[in-house]
Chain A
Amino acid sequence: MKKALSALCGFVLAIPVVFSQTAELKGSALFGSLRARSIGPASMSGRVADLAVVNRSPHIFYVGAAGGGIWKTKNGGASFEPIFDKYPQAIGKIMIDQNRPDTVWVGTGEPWTRNSVSHGNGIYLSVNGGKDWEHKGLENSERIADIAIHPTKPSVVFVAVMGSLWKSNDERGLYKTSDFGKTWEKVLYIDENTGCTNIIIDPQEPEIMYAATWQFRRSAHFFTSGGKGSGMYKTTDGGKTWKPIRNGLPKGDLGRIAIALSPSRAGNLYATVEADTNSLYRSTDFGETWKKMNESFNTGARPFYFSLLVADPADHLKIYKPGYTLTVSRDGGKTFNTIGGATHPDHHALWVNPSNTQELLLGTDGGVYRSLDAGGSWTMFRNLPLSQFYRISVDDDKPYNVYGGLQDNGSWMGPSEKPGGVRNGDWRNVGFGDGFCTFRHPTAKHIVFSEYQGGHLMRVNLNDNSTKDIRPFPAKGEPDYRFHWNTPVALSPNNPSKMYLGAQFLFMSTDMGESWVKISPDLTTNDPLKQKQKQSGGMTRDNTTAENHCTIYTIAESPLDENIIWAGTDDGNLQVTTDGGKTWTNTTPQIQGLPKNTWCSFVEPGTTDKNTVFATFEGHTSGDFKPYIFKSTDLGKTWKPLATDDIKTFVWCIRQDTKNPDLLFAGTEWGLYISIDGGQKWLEFENGMPKVGIRDMVIHPTADALVMGTHGRGVLILDDISPLRAITSELLKSNFAFLPIKPQIIKSGGGFQDFSSAGEFVGENPSSNAKIMYYMSKRHMVGDMKMFVYDEAGKQVAELNPGKQKGINVVDWITRGKAPKAKMGTTLSGGAFMGPSLPEGKYKVKVIKGKEEFETVVELKGNPDSEYTAEERKLQQNTALRLHALTEKIGNLTNTLEYWIDETKKSVESNKIPASKANPFISKWEGFFKTLISTDKGGIFAGDEQLNEKIIELYGNVNSFPGKPSQSQLERTALFENEVKEAERVFTLMVEKELPAINSLRTKAGLEPLMKSKEPEGGQEVEGKKQFRKFMFRMGWLH
């Protein structure tokens, strides 16, 4: 019967080959357990678009990030969990049904329509507090600004759909559902250029509602706020009919409007209105008439970014104005006071606790703050890694550092790993304003380049924190230089002293920016119609360099030829020179299928062939969200499209692997896509990877890591891309195949004691374990699957739990031997929990899968950069093994003694052996036992330390240092060997003389004789122990 079983299993396993063709392959079925990790930073956090708090339990709240998804806390912000990673990460509005707080509506697509804003794909509903989400339509809404739930009918929900920022569309206006989002009805619609930004239901009389509409449009080079479509509307019949409200509001066109209703006084409303003069208005008669109250700076600043008003829940004369800062009026809007002083400027969300109006939560461009004294002081939540990178780079330190610039949060550098994890304090600020390209000089290690908006390039000296502005300026007779908001800077991969900077011209410097040589003519279209940023803004002028256009946006020099330089522009040119800048050719006219003037978002010269180039284009600023990836193998003379339907949105960047030219990575607005066949097929990578915009990424040349700069989730790292290099269509056909495993470098050094990271985000480190990787064409379900590791002598050193999933499996192997079987006294000896490092060498890995066996080899290598010689490491390992043996010997001895004592006491208690005969043995054994192991019941604080504890401590100390043990340690090891020998001599006498005496008494009493030896249960690997405790805890075994 067994034979039949295995035969059939083999049969079952052999079938799926037919089905696993590359064409049908999905990312989830290939990438298996490969996973990206996050290193933050959260020090400065990132833009928050909305906050939603459960009013009855304010320790539960949701943070809606502009580009970083939704984070939920259940403990007042001590920790947050991302709960929306499978969906677009740009959040517009989160609305909790306060009567049923597990019902949460989320409108995606940010409503704060700055130039760098991300988009969404409709509305979602969760009925279990954010555990599961269901898409509820409004797919083409692009951005949702507001949601209102009917106070007594939970199935009735109104949604203010702003609609597209970049083009006309008719999926906008006010929508109503009466069936929890199954169907939608458009109840207020102006036109295809006007969206709805506000919806308020009167809590006492829900038939009365107020709505604001806004006409707006942004392009790559211009922004318009306001027009005929903007207005304020009121219904008194639950949304069936709407009438415009104008009485008391300014005449003429309006811009963006924010309305707030005071819950504490019927009919009391406030509104900020963008008009000729942006002002605050108040109504006390249910919006029928309005009176102008105030036109201070913060009430009217940047309506497209700050149109938000929050009425105090208890005091109808109190109104909050989040804006450039946070101001509050306590006299019905006549005067305002600043209370947001100590927070990051630019405020988009505010919650006032209805049960205690002293408590405020504030969402800003730099994270979330809480005040418990009505805005007098603020605490920032330092555990929300929402940082929004524009560009990113790495250096070649070990471990390497990551550099990048952020939306409104300057430029930063931080380590890719750190003992204990990458913490906020590990990140160093190296810039101002909005940060963009940030690089370390390849050879002058103390020099970092960073920039702020509009081409303000700076050279930062890390030694003294001095910064020098190193922008080039136009000479007499030259036109003004046009620098993009996000001005490109590039280092030469061939010449460490060469760097490039792009305006409409390309500049090159070989002296760290002290001087610049213009090496190109104007490479853009120089279209004067696209250079009207000085008039940009619509009703409220807004010219911050964000609309600068007809500029170079991406620059790259071929890593294979210093004279080949590519420059892509925001107005759709991709220029190349092959003679270091003497002559330039625009290559985009040769690209078929690319709409004219589509923004060139990234250029990646081939890593293995200098005539090859990859380029991405994106037209989202003209409403074209299609992915464009092109490849040329003849320096841009002809192009081939690589983007397929697999990619669901537009593409920011592309990288070609440095070792396998068919392995490509595409960073899109909604996450990472990978191609293993040169771009014929793209697979979405979702493990540890939210659907976040990847604005830039880089493959670390020696660490083989893909480092991604995301616009909302900080830096994400895919640590080892080498398994992806090995995936071929041939390999995909095999049921089971090991992937090549890089030699594992035995790491040294650990962390130090640190308890201060509670409440702070700590970035995950790469695993320091050896990784055994294999591919399976289908999940292992039937029959055994086991994994063993053997040393060169064929001795089994580990049994591991093999991964069983379809695709790539990564199995972690802690490269240590077994921890000693130690005996714990009353003083805990932590050193015994760790096994000794396994020696360098080749280890055989065997997988048994049903009847089949597969083998591969993993090599453990010493750290070539280690300060300790191979000889010293050998001495360390030998000494650790000597102490390991001593720990087990003393453990065995003490455990046996304890067993004798316990059993003999039991036999006395049960009157099997007379006390008079047993007690002399017991007291002798106890006396001996006490000299060998701690027995003081005071536990860990009693300080009892005997031979057992001393040996284990020495073992732990020698074991945890990767070099030569100290002379004192070596001498002490020899000393302990003698002491253990002496203890064993005494013990042997007991075994020979005393044990037979007791055993004869036992035999007479009908008891089993005592054994000569009883070894203790093993100690455990300390990391594993933590994990295990965690599991036990979760399962309720530990309390």
Chain B
Amino acid sequence: MKKYTIAFIAFLSVLHISVQAQSLEEVIENYTKVNGSQEQWDNIKTMKMDGKFSQQGMEFPIIAHMKRPNSVHTSIKVMGMEIIQAYDGKDAWMINPLMGKKDAELMGEEDAKQTKKQGKFEDPLLTYKTKGHKVQLAGKEEIEGTECFKIEVEEVDGDKSTVFIDTENYLKLMERSVLTNAQTEGAVIEAFFSDYKEVENGLLMWHAMDNKIGGQSMGTMIITKWEFNPKVDDKIFKMPK
């Protein structure tokens, strides 16, 4: 698998296939070859992400756990305090000592939406046929000087995003979405992915994600380790009583 992925990227680069017009199916097919198939992803039931959020020399450790179908638990440490956001498929909650609260509390509806998005396990580009997401190839667009396929995604739950896949490597270069949390409703956030590296199970995963709003970097998420199918206690997703 590993060998095949890399060899395929090199193959694409040599041929420079990107100059030809391609259908959505062809783009997704190539994307799948590079990023892993649905079967590969189906085998993953839990995921752990270890990393840091880095901004101008500052670093904040982040650990996230995800579990199918849509549970997520994210912990970020700031100035020695741990902030937690989590969703168990039913309730989205948080603990935020930065705001002076040490107890868990339920999030408001808009804020919860953002957290629920983090819990999404599946890549709609891989599952759109089986799950019924609307996925549409909207031609090519240059993103920061690099040619990309532009793919509009509308998931069955109504979440919308635009995914840009670079035409040379078939890797996701950027994902554009609109923030839904109450304070910043309507702000467009662009997540730029890079530092793709192969991980234990042969998947090619990003290890750096730069978040930009209006072209200005808000900080970079750097992943030091991806783990697949680690043991995860269901309890962590539930709001502590």
Contact = CB atoms under 8 A, between A and B. Distances in A.
Interface of A: 1, 4-5, 8-9, 11-12, 15-16, 19, 26, 28-30, 32, 35, 74, 131, 687-688, 778-785, 798-801, 804-807, 812-814, 818, 824, 1016-1021, 1023-1025, 1027-1028, 1030-1039
Contacts of B108: 1039
A1036 B189 CA distance: 12
Contacts of B9: 8, 12, 782
A816 to B, nearest CB: 9
A325 to B, nearest CB: 37
B79 interface: yes
A639 B77 CA distance: 65
B197 A783 contact: yes
Contact of B171 (A30, A688, A782): A782
Contact of A1020 (B13, B79, B208): B79
A107 B203 CA distance: 49
Which of B57, B171, B204 has the largest count of A CB atoms less than 10 A from its CB?
B57
A807 B210 CA distance: 17
A1013 to B, nearest CB: 15
B96 interface: yes
B57 A1021 contact: yes
A12 B57 contact: no
Given A1027-B219, A1031-B211, A1036-B85, 11 more contacts: A1-B2, A4-B3, A4-B6, A29-B146, A779-B166, A781-B166, A799-B54, A1034-B183, A1037-B94, A1038-B96, A1039-B182
Interface string B12-34: 01101000000000000000000
B215 A35 contact: yes
B142 interface: yes
Which of B56, B108, B173, B218 has the largest count of A CB atoms less than 10 A from its CB?
B56
Contact of A28 (B2, B7, B145, B198): B145
Nearest to B107: A1036
Contacts of A1018: 79
A781 B208 contact: no
Interface residues of B, number: 70
A29 B99 contact: no
B145 A805 contact: yes
A1031 B77 CA distance: 15
A801 B52 CA distance: 12
Contacts of B71: none
B57 A814 contact: yes
20 contacts: A9-B6, A12-B10, A26-B145, A29-B146, A32-B144, A32-B145, A779-B146, A782-B204, A783-B196, A798-B57, A801-B56, A804-B192, A806-B146, A1028-B219, A1031-B218, A1033-B183, A1036-B114, A1037-B94, A1038-B96, A1039-B111
Nearest to B189: A1034
B208 A1034 contact: no
Contacts of A801: 54-56, 208, 210, 217, 219-220, 222
Which of A9, A15, A1034, A1036 has the largest count of B CB atoms less than 10 A from its CB?
A1036
B158 interface: no
A1036 B56 contact: no
Contacts of A1030: 218
Nearest to B219: A1031
Interface string B117-129: 0000000000000
A805 to B, nearest CB: 4
A19 B16 contact: yes
Interface in B135-155: 142, 144-146
B188 interface: yes
B13 A12 contact: yes
A848 to B, nearest CB: 11
Contacts of A11: 10, 13
Q: 9 shortest A-B CB distances, which residue pairs? A: A29-B145, A1036-B181, A1017-B80, A1031-B218, A806-B145, A1024-B56, A805-B144, A1036-B114, A801-B220
A492 to B, nearest CB: 41
Contacts of A818: 57
A531 to B, nearest CB: 49
Interface string B99-117: 1000000011001001100
B83 interface: yes
B179 interface: yes
A782 B207 contact: no
B49 interface: no
A699 B138 CA distance: 41
A157 to B, nearest CB: 23
Given A801-B210, A805-B146, A8 B80 contact: no
A806 B114 CA distance: 31
Contacts of A783: 195-197
B55 A1035 contact: no
Given A1036-B179, A1037-B85, A12 B144 contact: no
A781 B14 contact: no
B214 to A, nearest CB: 9
B22 to A, nearest CB: 18
B70 interface: no
Contacts of B79: 824, 1017-1020
A800 B77 CA distance: 19
Given A5-B6, A1024-B55, A1036-B181, A687 B115 contact: no
A388 B204 CA distance: 51
B211 to A, nearest CB: 7
Contacts of B54: 799, 801
B56 A1023 contact: yes
B43 interface: no
Which of A35, A783, A801, A1035 has the largest count of B CB atoms less than 10 A from its CB?
A1035
Given A780-B195, A785-B208, A1036-B115, A1025 B58 contact: yes
B169 interface: yes
A938 B80 CA distance: 22
Interface in B155-196: 166, 168-169, 171, 173, 178-179, 181-184, 186-189, 192, 194-196
Given A806-B145, A1034-B187, A1028 B195 contact: no
